[in-house]
Structure 1
């Protein structure tokens, strides 16, 4: 990487500029440096302020675990992760689905809860060990793109010490559901934005004493539902659905109304809420929508993760698809960037198109499953809710049906492996 001083600030050059230091951006930086490339990563969050909200972004699907293992990171974080064995859905107080992840025929078949700051630190530490190099600027906010002819050639970023220009033949927008790169390069204009019927209030509560800590719980009562997810810090992370734009009405009813809503779904958690919630600052609101970007790339720039395909929080797929994007993009980008300057532009165009074609089917299957779940969760008519329970009970009764419906989301692109009742290596004993 080269660093120079210019009249309007400093300048850096690299093979790739990654905008966004979340799991997708960090994983991409690692995958690229493993291939010997030079990377500049821009992260707008100030490290002095911590890792940001702790209410979400901690769930890693079985396929996410597999990808982290392939990047050499899983062994570094496994001790901090909390394995989940089951997914349980209760509707109107009765269990209608009890999904055991051990029943799937894959080596990595359990999801895990993992603090995001732990994951990001491990990705950064592993990146520092690679043959390539990664320069991280944080806090740094992308405020413009550098352009030469039709192609993006880098990023102009604002930092506490002034403006930095990062020259790179490839810029990657890994900057989330409200991506600045997507807006700056013109890919925002054709986004298909679909608001869903609800928002989610996230909060953490003391873990109920009689609950199994290795279970994801979904509780449904009428048109209300909540997610109850075990956390590595011993608490339970609660995602309570509310009507779209309904936070003002909920807050008008006070914390007592919030606790009552939680208690209707899970009396044990309702008691914990009444004993621990003191202020609305103990909660966070997540606006629920999906966004489909018809084209994930333009000359010299590509989007990954939520910037390219925003998903809902059902099944915790955002982090996992960002990791999958990073792993898929890195070898294609490295091969194209290895071409001589004259051939590089065409090679990058071909590589970025191929990247989207390879990744779009898996993302589409997860989105379709999520949207079906969202519709089922919001059913209210007696006949519709009875049908919902029938569907879940059918899944519960049929392992083949569970694999057909759920494997595309939890294990995209995977093939069943021979199961071992007694794992043959220490890593397989605790691998998830």
Structure 2
């Protein structure tokens, strides 16, 4: 149905998507395939910048294969795993099994700029798709109480982009949300995350991501030639961590992930460390007439479980389906936009609650300090593994509500 529409007619109306991240690019591609005139505005000049969310989960891989992009993506540098382990005080715990999740049954680690470039290339194949790089939304156009487009600042200066529907996919600091008068309700988060890179050796494990020690929790995400590494710290304590010195920081990293000892010295100072102010929040209302928020603009998530991109892309699929079923953006009313929020808000809020539980568990030094020894943990953790691994695989790999490409 979609390809027939794209080859033949057009669905009436147009969409302007603010934000060229995974959600915005997927939404733009899906709408263009459906014969909708869509303009995606991305504030950066290109996609070649450092992202922290470089995982492609099984449900997203299934979607990309359905879009005919699987073979193209497979030619790009990436690594893949079907299981993920956690290491608790030296005891390896097979925590997540993707081998029964969807059709892809694995998780890929791929630079996000490669994924975005592939999506952009696919979108440009459709005559109704336009991507404007280096163009940031600065305001909204209105007709009474209805949003009718955006004001943007780009390479050629100020411009106006009229649209029957504006979609804010511009992240947790969304300008679209601000201009629409919508707001976030913040949830207190007890942690921040310090991100940095360390060289990766061939002998280093590729499937152990989370490392829980007696004091700290650290993360090592395998990438081509390096680990995207993180140390979790108490909320607002970065100044104290920095004051203790880089040598002490390296010690904490190695205490949590011993196999990084040979390369941790490459971390010379805190200029190589980035602070992520972890947030969990939600917008009580995602829409006003003519405008909808999706992804982190509607429900900022923490890095826990790495599912933020998955949920944002699922929002995009649900939005594209709603627009198509309505008969095009010119026929999208408040009822349609409210339907998208009803469908997507519950799974997003439920996952955020799970993230809060995880934060509470790992942010208490008293709990980490009494972890049993590795042999005891191995015996204890072996008992529920065969039950919990596939459950966590579904939870992490597919989310709480899948959004199939069935329109």
TM-score, normalization by structure 2: 0.88
Q: CA deviation at 1:57?
A: 1.6
- Equivalent of residue 275 in structure 2, options 262, 285, 288: 285
Which of 306, 312, 317 is residue 307 of structure 2 equivalent to?
Answer: 317
Q: 1:261 matched to which residue of 2?
A: 252
Do 1:97 and 1:393's aligned partners in 2 also have CA atoms closer than 8 Å? no
Inter-CA distance 393–96: structure 2 relative to 1 (3 Å threshold): farther
Q: Is the 8 A contact 1:222 1:379 kept in 2?
A: no
Among 195, 212, 215, which residue is 1:202 paired with?
Answer: 195
CA separation of 1:39/1:248 partners in 2, compared to 1, >3 Å: closer, same or farther?
same
Cα offset, 1:223, TM superposition: 4.2
**After superposition, where does 1:42-121 map in structure 2 within 5 Å?**
42-47=41-46, 51-54=48-51, 56-80=52-76, 81-102=78-99, 104=100, 106-121=102-117
Deviation at 1:25, TM superposition (A): 0.5
Instruction: Output one character per residue of 1:186-225: Cα deviation in whole Å (capped at 9) or x when no partner.
Output: 112xx21123111111111111443233x13211123410
CA distance in 1, matches of 2:101, 2:398: 10
Unmatched segments (≥5 aa) in structure 2: 1-11, 403-407
Contact preservation (8 Å) 1:35, 1:334: yes
**Native 8 Å contact 2:16 2:165 kept in 1:** yes
The match for 1:217 among 206, 209, 228 is: 209
User: Aligned pair in 2 of structure 1 residues 315, 413: CA closer, same or farther (>3 Å)?
Assistant: closer
The within-5 A match list for 1:413-424 is: none
What is the aligned partner in structure 2 of residue 400 from structure 1? 387
For the Cα contact (< 8 Å) 1:174–1:307, is it kept in 2? Answer: yes
For residue 190 of structure 2, give the secondary structure of its aligned residue in structure 1.
strand
Q: Is contact 1:199-1:287 (8 Å) kept?
A: yes
Q: How far is the alpha carbon of 1:158 from its aligned partner? A: 1.1
Does the Cα contact within 8 Å between 2:168 and 2:291 map onto a contact in 1? yes
Tell me the secondary structure at the aligned position of residue 271 of structure 1: coil
The root-mean-square deviation of aligned C-alpha atoms, in Å, is: 2.6
Aligned twin of 1:421: none
Secondary structure in structure 2 of the residue aligned to 1:200: strand
1:412 aligns with 2:399: yes
Pairing partner for 1:298 from 264, 288, 307: 288
TM-score, normalised by the number of residues in structure 1: 0.83
- Contact preservation (8 Å) 2:80, 2:107: yes
Distance 2:365 2:48 in 1: 38
How far off its partner does 1:287 sit? 0.6
CA distance in 2 between partners of 1:183 and 1:336 (Å): 27
Give the conservation status (yes or no) of the 8 Å contact 2:26–2:316: yes
Return 5+ residue gaps in structure 1 as ranges.
1-12, 416-432
Given candidates 318, 333, 343, the residue that maps to 1:348 is 333
SS in structure 1 of the partner of residue 278 of structure 2: strand
Cross-structure match for 2:363? 378
Q: Does 1:133 align with 2:128?
A: yes
Residues 14 and 166 in structure 1, CA contact (< 8 A), matched pair in contact too: no
In terms of mean alpha carbon deviation, does 373-382 or 136-145 score higher? 373-382
Given that 2:94 and 2:385 are in contact with CA atoms closer than 8 Å, whether structure 1 keeps it comes out as no
Q: Tell me which residue corresponds to 2:319.
A: 329
Match of 1:40 in 2: 39
Deviation at 1:17, TM superposition (A): 0.4
